[in-house]
Structure 1
């Protein structure tokens, strides 16, 4: 197998702040900035990076990755476009898009070992950050969600470390396929079964997809 390396454009961290969106007041660490030096990556995320929401973070969501490849797609839509941490991701990476990343794929990153666990779920905080109310729907429709990773081995990582695929998952269920089942082809038994057979899919998403299929009702996905 050819060595598969992916360039890390930036490694990003942030602190929680208070934001306003219409009548809603909320706390978020979605505004992240690049770091220059090494950072310790633990089972629950980067040392010093904050999470303000109970459904963000945790062992199955230790890192958020967004492909740099999608940045140009969004540029016309945003008046306050940024060139780093566009969607509040920890890792901005070139070449590793949702169709190329598979649930359960294992990568090395510096001293750490990380594994793809689920797609990133777009929420209203993205719409609020860019003042684009339709952004959640746009992200769902394009499938440009980015994805989340768990940490199998803790260690120091830096912005200069490439991500290297060291163990591709044999079932090859892409993040793009999971997004399709979540948002579009929700009641396709073959696709749903294919996704749910991957034990490395985060337990919470496994249950949500199964519940959606079994109930015959669309999940609002927050």
Structure 2
């Protein structure tokens, strides 16, 4: 099998800070900066990388990945465009986009082994960071969400390590397909069933998609 390797453009970490968006004051570590050396990756994330809220991070959301491939799409949208950690991601990676990244795919990076667990859910903090109120809707409509990883094997990783696909998931349910049933084709029974059959999908998202389908009502995904 041809080895699939994806270049890591930057490895990013951040500290929680206080921000204001309109009348809303919130804490976030969305402003991340590249690191130059190796960092220990544990089951819950990079050593020293902070998360502001309990529902961010955790074992199914240990790392956030965003494709460099989408940066040019956003350049006309953001007046305060940055060239690293655009979406507050831990790993900026070239070539690994949502249409070819599958739930359950397993990768090596440095000493660590990681697995795709779910798409990244766009939230108001992205809109606040770039002062683009419609950004959440734009991210949903494009499907340019990025995705999250769980850690199967802890270890040191560095910005010089590539992500190497070592075990593609046999069901081939892409991050793009999961985004489709989350945000668009929510009540397509065949698509929803295909997504829910992947046991490597995070438990929380599995439940949310099932509840949305069973209720016949759109989830706000706030």
User: Which band: TM-score by shorter chain?
Assistant: over 0.9
CA displacement at 1:53 relative to structure 2: 1.5
Match of 1:210 in 2: 210
Equivalence map 1:159-174=2 (5 Å): 159-174=159-174
Match of 1:180?
180
For the residues of structure 1 that align with 2:152 and 2:98, how far apart are their CA atoms? 21
Q: Does residue 196 of the first structure (1) align with residue 196 of the second (2)?
A: yes
TM-score by length of 1: 1.00
For 1:11-46, what per-residue CA distance to the aligned partner results, in whole angstroms no more than 9, with x for missing partners? 000000000000000000000000000000000000
Q: Which runs of 5+ in 1 are unaligned?
A: none
After superposition, what is the alpha-carbon deviation per residue over 1:119-159, rounded to whole angstroms, capped at 9, x for unaligned? 00000000000000000000000000000000000000000
1:10 aligns with 2:30: no
Partner residue in 1 for 2:99: 99
1:83 alignment counterpart: 83
CA distance in 2, matches of 1:55, 1:130: 22
Matched residue, 1:140: 140
Query: SS at the partner of 1:209?
Result: helix
Correspondence 1:32-111 to 2 at 5 A: 32-111=32-111
What stretches of structure 1 move > 6 A for 4+ residues in a row? none
What's the CA shift for 1:96? 0.1
Structure 1 vs Structure 2 CA RMSD:
0.2
Structure 2: gaps spanning 5 or more residues = none
Structure 1 counterpart SS, 2:75: helix
Q: Distance in 1 between matches of 2:119 and 2:219?
A: 15
